[in-house]
């Protein structure tokens, strides 16, 4: 995310601090082993979609979808321990305008910002002169979460879905954003270009001569932008909360913004997560409870897109909608509810280029970082985990009403599968207890609040709870966390890991799950679900820290070969390797290395009693630095081909990179280039599996 869009305000005023005392025996935590708890539209504008900022993203839904590869159900009981052994030497830190990789590997640039996806886009220009139309038909800016969807059952052909979290206006335009003497935006094409640089890219890529390449003009290539028309599903669909002049029946919303972490589903769709979206809207009226809780801006919008409201070229209120001040006689006459269409998990079927994106409101409305499903069991509900990335915010899970049917993995109607598993279920928020157990607190109307009432005393419907998810979570006594980012599930053990990136504003009170004051370096927590949907057991897997820190800070015994700070992106591959990516802002580690990606195989770290271990002075050599990004960047987004021969990772907001197609070639000293976020392709020179 970077400091550019991070909102440092503490919006959680609930003071939920279930365990307010600083834990006294910090060091004993290092040896802590989890305690078992029985684990084993219609729109108001006919022909809508023709907006100045976009016209090709509201498809009619007629072309046949492509069939993804089928999934073969396992026929034997899988082992509970990975046999993967990391086969590279941990690399040193790096601070150059280039990526760093282990010996025997190569890294090159794929699909950088501005790469044309079809012939409507002109080639990217290094003077920033590309138009809004170019941008609408080209890869967006500031790559973040990502997933690879194979095509034709091949490991050399597929679709890369890439989130674009936010923009750098100075890099996007020739001379930065144009504004008048009052700071008001004046150039429509600039604003449309900015809106179009947001969202998601779906990119067909193929491996040819050992180089992954974008297939320009492929029928699957498409963009979802900050203007794309999307359907609403789940409790908020067709509710009065979604009623706007554009969508008076509350069935649709326009655009997806600040798409940070991602997920995917067992039925082959992509999930993109709306994170720091509140700042894109402004209200000059009295904020509603949910607007105040989530942090809607009261001064101006982040990029001033609303400044062009009322201009002659504006279509369908495309700029006016970002100012959500009530102005009309009712919600159907203005955009007071426009922001209510944001803050969700959005499902995209990449295999069907004519499908619309769907906002799955049942999974809660907050600043979603990622969305990860738990270990699947036939006949059991599917669980999705998602963290709310702000200081002192919460961890959530959604448990589907429908139970998992393996045949659904191969359904050709993937959106119907989303309807089946993601529209009806129960949303829970996590409460961590200091004895290594925890409780998932349901957010339903009859949920008990900490003052002995129920949520029904504060909310009149499930839709109202969802709209103000964090406000409801305050009332039931959830645990305020140190900025929950991505979650990932170990395919062998089913343990769920979650990055807690940092919280330098935790100055007064810790809790068991967030035990360091002034948590500059972050940590990774993990848990196992219990026998009941409301139970879990947890421990802290690793604490970020600089090598030089004292024992109370460097609790995992990290050294120069694995010191890290601010874990953010997190993923497991199916071999059981966990990949940890960083978005660091702490000088103590930044002075040694740029942001990075590390690897570890947690399920193989067993003690004499076969219990999963944590990273400690004894086991820290299991955590290895695999990759370092160029100066100024964040490393985020992880994807891997099913033969493990290619890893994709994203470089977001580099300061002076990429100089050439070779990601490891430094920009020459003294040369300044227009920076471009990009995917980096990492492969072994011998074509073997990455990481082992
Ligand atoms: Fe966009 Fe929480 O990182
Ligand atoms: Ca960032
Ligand atoms: Ca981050
Ligand atoms: Ca992130």
Ligand 1 atom nearest residue 275's Cα: 1
Q: Give distance in angstroms: CA of 372 to centre of ligand 3.
A: 17
- Please tell me the predicted confidence (pLDDT) of residue 55: 52
Q: Which atom of ligand 1 is nearest to the CA of 501?
A: 2
Q: HSE, CB side, 13 Å, CA atoms: give it for residue 352.
A: 23
Residue 52: the pLDDT is 65
What would the DSSP string read from start to end of 191-251?
A: HHHHHHHSEEEEEEEEEETTEEEE-TT-TT-EEE-TT-EEEEESTTTT-GGG--SS-TTS-
Measured in angstroms, how far is the CA atom of residue 301 from the centroid of ligand 3?
Answer: 21
Q: Considering only the top CATH level, what class is 3-684?
A: mainly beta
Confidence of residue 17 (pLDDT cuts 50, 70, 90): low
What is the per-residue pLDDT across 591-620, written as a single tens digit (0 to 9) for each? 999 999 999 999 999 999 999 999 999 999
Q: Is the pLDDT of residue 20 over 60?
A: no
pLDDT of 5 reads 82
Shortest-distance atom of ligand 1 to CA 144 = 1
Question: What are the pocket residues of ligand 1 if the criterion is a CB atom closer than 6 Å to any ligand atom?
Answer: 1, 165, 260, 275, 369, 389, 485, 568
Q: How confident is the model at residue 683 (pLDDT cuts 50, 70, 90)?
A: very high
pLDDT of residue 153: 84
* pLDDT (0 to 100) of residue 229: 98
> Could you read off the pLDDT of 26-50 as tens digits, one per residue?
333 333 334 333 333 333 443 334 4
pLDDT, tens digit (0-9, with 9 covering 90-100), for 465-509: 999 999 999 999 999 999 999 999 999 999 999 999 999 999 999
Query: How much is the pLDDT for 567?
Result: 98
Dist CA 373 CA 384 (whole Å)? 4
Q: What is the predicted pLDDT for the residue at 6?
A: 85
Residues ≥6 apart with Cβ < 8 Å to 126: 673, 674
Q: What is the pLDDT of residues 176-229, one digit of tens each?
A: 999 999 999 999 999 999 999 999 999 999 999 999 999 999 999 999 999 999
Vertex 161, ends 157 and 165: CA angle to 5°? 150
- Please tell me the predicted confidence (pLDDT) of residue 215: 98
Can you tell me the mean pLDDT for 64-93? 74
What per-residue confidence (pLDDT) applies to 677? Answer: 98
pLDDT digits (tens, 9 = 90+) for 382-409: 999 999 999 999 999 999 999 999 999 9
Query: Alpha helices of 57-168 — where are they, by DSSP H?
Result: 132-136
| Residue whose CA lies nearest to ligand 1 atom number 3 | 1
Q: What is the pLDDT of residue 61?
A: 40
Q: How many angstroms does the Cα of residue 144 sit away from the middle of ligand 1? A: 9
Distance 339 CA to ligand 1 centre (A): 19
- Residue 572 C-alpha to ligand 1 middle, in angstroms? 19
pTM comes to 0.93
Q: Which residues pair with 624 in a beta bridge?
A: 599
Reported as type and span, the H/E element at residue 273 is strand 270-274
What is the arithmetic mean of pLDDT over 658-681?
98
Q: For residue 105, what is the DSSP state?
A: E
Question: What pLDDT, on a 0 to 100 scale, did the predictor assign at position 77?
Answer: 63
Output the average pLDDT for the chain. Answer: 93
CA of 165, closest atom in ligand 1: 1
CA distances (Å), origin 37, targets 526, 542, 657: 15, 22, 49
Looking from the CA of residue 5, the nearest atom of ligand 1 is 1
* Domain edges within the chain: 3-684
- What's the CA-to-centroid distance between 66 and ligand 2, angstroms? 33
**Nearest CA, atom 1, ligand 1:** 1
Least confident of 41-50, 228-237, 271-280, 353-362: 41-50
Q: Mean pLDDT, to the nearest integer, of 432-440?
A: 97
pLDDT at 678: 99
């Amino acid at each position: 995310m970077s400091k550019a869009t991070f909102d440092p305000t503490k919006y959680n005023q609930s003071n939920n601090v279930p365990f307010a005392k600083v834990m006294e025996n910090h060091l004993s935590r290092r040896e802590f082993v989890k305690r078992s708890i029985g684990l084993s539209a219609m729109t108001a504008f006919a022909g809508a979609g023709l907006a100045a900022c976009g016209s090709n993203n509201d498809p009619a839904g007629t072309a046949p979808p492509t069939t993804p590869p089928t999934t073969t159900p396992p026929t034997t009981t899988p082992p509970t321990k990975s046999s993967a052994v990391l086969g590279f030497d941990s690399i040193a830190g790096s601070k150059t305008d280039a990526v760093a990789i282990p010996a025997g590997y190569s890294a090159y640039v794929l699909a950088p910002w501005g790469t044309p996806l079809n012939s409507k886009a002109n080639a990217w220009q290094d003077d920033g002169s590309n138009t809004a139309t170019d941008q609408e038909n080209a890869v967006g800016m500031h790559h973040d979460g990502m997933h690879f969807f194979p095509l034709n059952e091949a490991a050399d052909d597929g679709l890369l879905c890439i989130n674009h979290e936010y923009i750098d206006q100075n890099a996007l335009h020739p001379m930065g954003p144009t504004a008048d003497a009052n700071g008001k935006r004046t150039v429509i094409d600039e604003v449309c270009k900015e809106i179009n640089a947001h969202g998601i890219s779906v990119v067909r890529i193929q491996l040819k001569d050992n180089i992954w390449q974008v297939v320009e003009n492929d029928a699957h290539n498409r963009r979802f932008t900050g203007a794309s028309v999307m359907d609403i599903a789940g409790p908020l669909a067709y509710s009065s909360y979604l009623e706007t002049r554009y969508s008076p029946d509350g069935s649709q919303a326009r655009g997806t913004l600040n798409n940070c972490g991602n997920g995917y589903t067992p039925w082959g769709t992509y999930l993109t997560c709306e994170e720091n979206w509140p700042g894109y809207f402004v209200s000059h009226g009295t904020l509603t409870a949910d607007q105040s809780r989530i942090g809607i801006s009261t001064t101006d919008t982040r990029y001033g897109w609303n400044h062009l409201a009322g201009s002659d070229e504006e279509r369908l209120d495309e700029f006016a909608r970002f100012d959500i001040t009530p102005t009309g006689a009712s919600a159907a006459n203005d955009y007071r509810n426009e922001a209510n269409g944001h803050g969700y998990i959005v499902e995209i079927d990449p295999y069907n280029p004519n499908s619309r994106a769907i906002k799955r409101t049942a999974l809660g409305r907050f600043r979603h970082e990622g969305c990860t499903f738990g270990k699947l069991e036939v006949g059991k509900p599917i669980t999705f985990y998602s963290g709310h990335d702000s200081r002192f915010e919460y961890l959530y899970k959604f448990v589907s009403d429908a139970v998992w049917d393996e045949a659904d993995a191969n359904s050709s109607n993937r959106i119907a599968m989303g309807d089946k598993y993601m529209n009806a279920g129960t949303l829970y928020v996590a409460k961590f207890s200091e004895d290594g157990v925890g409780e998932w607190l349901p957010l339903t109307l009859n949920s008990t609040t900490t003052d002995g009432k129920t949520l029904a005393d504060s909310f009149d419907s499930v839709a109202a709870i969802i709209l103000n998810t964090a406000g409801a979570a305050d009332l039931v006594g959830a645990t305020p966390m140190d900025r929950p980012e991505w979650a990932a599930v170990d395919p062998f053990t089913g343990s769920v890991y979650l990055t807690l990136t940092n919280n330098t504003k935790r100055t007064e009170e810790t809790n068991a799950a967030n035990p360091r004051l002034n948590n500059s370096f972050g940590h990774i927590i993990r848990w196992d679900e219990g026998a009941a949907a409301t139970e879990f057991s947890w421990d802290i897997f690793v604490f970020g820290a600089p090598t030089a820190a004292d024992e109370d800070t460097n609790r995992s015994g990290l050294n120069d070969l694995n010191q890290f700070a601010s874990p953010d992106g997190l993923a497991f591959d199916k071999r059981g390797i966990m990949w940890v990516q960083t978005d660091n802002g702490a000088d103590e580690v930044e002075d040694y290395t740029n942001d990075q990606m590390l690897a570890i195989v947690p399920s193989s770290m067993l003690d004499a009693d076969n219990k999963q271990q944590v990273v400690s002075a004894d086991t820290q050599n299991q955590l290895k630095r695999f990759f370092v990004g160029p100066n100024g960047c964040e490393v985020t987004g992880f994807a891997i081909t099913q033969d493990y021969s290619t890893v994709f990772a994203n470089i977001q907001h580099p300061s002076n990179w990429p100089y050439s197609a070779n990601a490891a070639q430094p920009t020459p000293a003294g040369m300044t280039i227009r920076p471009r976020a990009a995917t980096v392709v990492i492969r072994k020179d011998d074509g073997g599996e990455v990481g082992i």
